[in-house]
A and B are shown apart, each in its own frame.
Chain A
Amino acid sequence: GQNIDQPTEMTATEGAIVQINCTYQTSGFNGLFWYQQHAGEAPTFLSYNVLDGLEEKGRFSSFLSRSKGYSYLLLKELQMKDSASYLCAVRRDFNKFYFGSGTKLNVKP
């Protein structure tokens, strides 16, 4: 398997900024994805990185450092609806996706 590590749970306040980290070890790296998954629902795509650097998409940004095997997802202006699990996934070669266990984010008022 692949070693993909992310924190189990985080808590943040509405309106704040939170950073969710992900580290990985893999061969054949072909992109890193972040997904959001609300309880009992399907994962939905948030962001994609294949080159080093920051990708910004509205309130969500994702960063990648391939040499360090590290990524983070940055959520700004947190809203209550952002309470969900956030999954880091590494694509290996062309079509093999490996997921971390997910980080459960609790947004409190």
Chain B
Amino acid sequence: GAGVSQSPRYKVAKRGQDVALRCDPISGHVSLFWYQQALGQGPEFLTYFQNEAQLDKSGLPSDRFFAERPEGSVSTLKIQRTQQEDSAVYLCASSLRFPAGGQETQYFGPGTRLLVL
């Protein structure tokens, strides 16, 4: 079966431009996560969905960041008026159930590498 896919894989944006990053989770996975990973760092939590409900957005760094998952499958992370500090890899991950327990792990997509000039 297909894993988590993300598009685009690479995005170059001019400062001030809006970008939209797409995540296709594994079919049937209830939980979906977005992370931001700076170079040489571990992933930092941004937001979490259970089906279409955004249950936690405490990691979003500013109100320029917005995420949605309207039908409980595909998710989009939108960044408005991009800044240079937004340059990072944006990882999406999904897991089968909620609440997660036991060895319920996340399956990561390949990420979108965003460079803001």
Contact B109 A95, beta carbon cutoff 8 Å: no
Does chain A have a CB within 8 A of B18? Answer: no
Q: How large is the interface on A (under 10, 10 to 19, 20 to 34, 35 or more residues)?
A: 20 to 34
- Contact of A89 (CB < 8 Å), options: B41, B42, B100, B101: B42
Contact A101 B40, beta carbon cutoff 8 Å: yes
**Looking at the complex, which of A39-47, A66-74, A76-84 is the stretch in contact with chain B?**
A39-47
Contact A96 B105, beta carbon cutoff 8 Å: no
Closest to B95 in A: A95
Distance, CA A101 to CA B40, complexed state (A): 7
Distance, CA A4 to CA B44, complexed state (A): 12
Q: Is the interface of B mostly helix, strand, loop or mixed?
A: loop
Distance, CA A8 to CA B101, complexed state (A): 29
Per-residue 0/1 for B35-70: is the Cβ within 8 Å of any A Cβ (1 yes, 0 no)? 100001111110010000001100000000000000
Contact A43 B108, beta carbon cutoff 8 Å: yes
Total chain B interface residues with beta-carbon distance under 8 A: 28
Distance, CA A30 to CA B102, complexed state (A): 8
Contact A95 B100, beta carbon cutoff 8 Å: yes
In angstroms, how far is the closest chain A Cβ from the Cβ of B117? 20
Query: In the assembled complex, which residues on chain B have CB atoms less than 8 Å from the CB atom of A60?
Result: none
Distance, CA A44 to CA B105, complexed state (A): 10
Does chain B have a CB within 8 A of A99? Answer: yes
Query: In the assembled complex, which residues on chain A have CB atoms less than 8 Å from the CB atom of B111?
Result: 42
Given contacts A42-B110, A44-B108, A48-B105, contact A94 B42 (CB under 8 A): no
Question: What are 19 sample pairs from A and B whose C-beta atoms fall under 8 A apart?
Answer: A31-B102, A42-B111, A48-B102, A94-B99, A94-B101, A95-B33, A95-B48, A95-B55, A95-B56, A95-B100, A96-B45, A96-B48, A96-B56, A97-B45, A98-B45, A99-B35, A99-B44, A102-B41, A102-B42
- Residues of chain A whose beta carbon lies under 8 Å from any beta carbon of chain B: 4, 30-31, 33, 41-45, 48, 50, 87, 89, 91, 94-102
- Residues of chain B whose beta carbon lies under 8 Å from any beta carbon of chain A: 4, 31, 33, 35, 40-45, 48, 55-56, 91, 95, 98-103, 105-111
